[in-house]
Structure 1
Amino acid sequence: MDSKIFKKTVANFLIGKGFSKKGSYYYLFFKDLAIVVGFQKSNFSNDYYINIGYVISELNSNLLTPRDVDGDVRARFSVELEGKKVDSFNLDKLTVDMLINAIDENIKHYVLEITSIEKLKLLLQENSIMLYQTKLAAKQLLKLE
């Protein structure tokens, strides 16, 4: 798969799930939270990462168009390749069907239920590994520190 097909497939899926696109990023905005998805090309292989950032409005009142790296909580989408769950999408090994299935699973896990900071807190409580990619201010606001 080439990078154009990869990006277009992911973009179409995200837009179909209600995301809007501005620049290189995809957004879902809620009252107290923005979810930002962005691509990151590997410097060492034909891989892409799909990064997700949860930007808490209360902590970022001046940030109108955040990037995924601005997320108070960050994560990466994953895919199963050759029997292993990995966070890099190797375009040489990926089919469109594999990509769509992986994006669908990640959206179900990281996006669909996360419509407020309270639901973000529940996601973090259920997936404590994500606390390693959570800023201290967010942990304190969510009373997880």
Structure 2
Amino acid sequence: MVIWDTLCFHSTLCCGDNAVFFGNYQILFQTADIGLLFANIVPEVCLFVILHRKSARLVQELILIKVRQVETVMNNTEFKKIVQEITSKYGFMYCKKNYYYNSDKIIVVINLQKSNFDNSYYINYGFYVKDIHNDLQYPKNNECDITGRFLNETNKGIYQLDTMNAEELVVSLEKNILNSTTVSSIT
């Protein structure tokens, strides 16, 4: 969700090329004296280069700006916390680095697999049929009879934390978990 606020402040700007960092805020200057504004959005920080028409002078004026809050990228801790909340909401229990959902005939296993190449995760699932195997209470994903991987709308089976926000993660998890628990209740 994008939040816009209109702010008014008195500012001193140096002419020429100025790089200004505003954390997670994108600043749009609206004034006749500022010729050009280039914004390069970098993860977690917005970099702004302001070019002024008149060189070697300080410009001091009242500037009306709009501030747009830029969503920050998710880190590993936030990702795991959201996964924990959603899986708990649907009756999964965390044990031995996996999430388990027990029904009468099937155990559903969900586990997180960290990518070695970038800041992303795969979410794997498995169905363990109790009638076939009754010796394991907490099977690993590779011991399940049927295995698969959660899909999301943008990147197929990979959850890239650099580009995904919390809302997208919640929607994708709920959709995939509802599908997996529906299958386990049918059998």
Q: TM-score, normalised by structure 1?
A: 0.73
> Aligned pair 1:93/2:166, yes or no?
no
Equivalent residue, structure 2, for 1:25: 98
Match of 1:47 in 2: 120
Greater than 6 Å deviation, 4+ residue runs: none
Which one has the largest radius of gyration?
A: 2
For residue 114 of structure 1, report the CA deviation from its aligned partner.
2.1
Residues 8-19 of structure 1: pairs in structure 2 closer than 5 A:
8-19=81-92
**Residue correspondence of structure 1 range 62-81 to structure 2 within 5 A:** 62-81=135-154
CA shift for structure 1 position 23: 2.2
Query: Is 1:111–2:184 an aligned residue pair?
Result: no
In structure 2, distance between residues paired with 1:4 and 1:59:
37
More helix by share: 1
CA shift for structure 1 position 19 = 0.8
Q: Distance in 1 between matches of 2:81 and 2:142?
A: 21
1 or 2 for the larger relative contact order (CA 8 Å, sep ≥6)? Answer: 1
Contact 2:82 2:170 in 1 (8 A): yes
Q: Give the drift of 1:113.
A: 4.3
Normalized per residue, which structure has more strand?
A: 2
CA shift, 1:59, in A, is 2.3
Q: Aligned pairs, how many? A: 114
TM-score by length of 2: 0.58
In 1, are the aligned partners of 2:108 and 2:180 still within 8 Å (CA)? no
Identity of aligned residues (%): 28
**Offset at 1:104?**
1.1
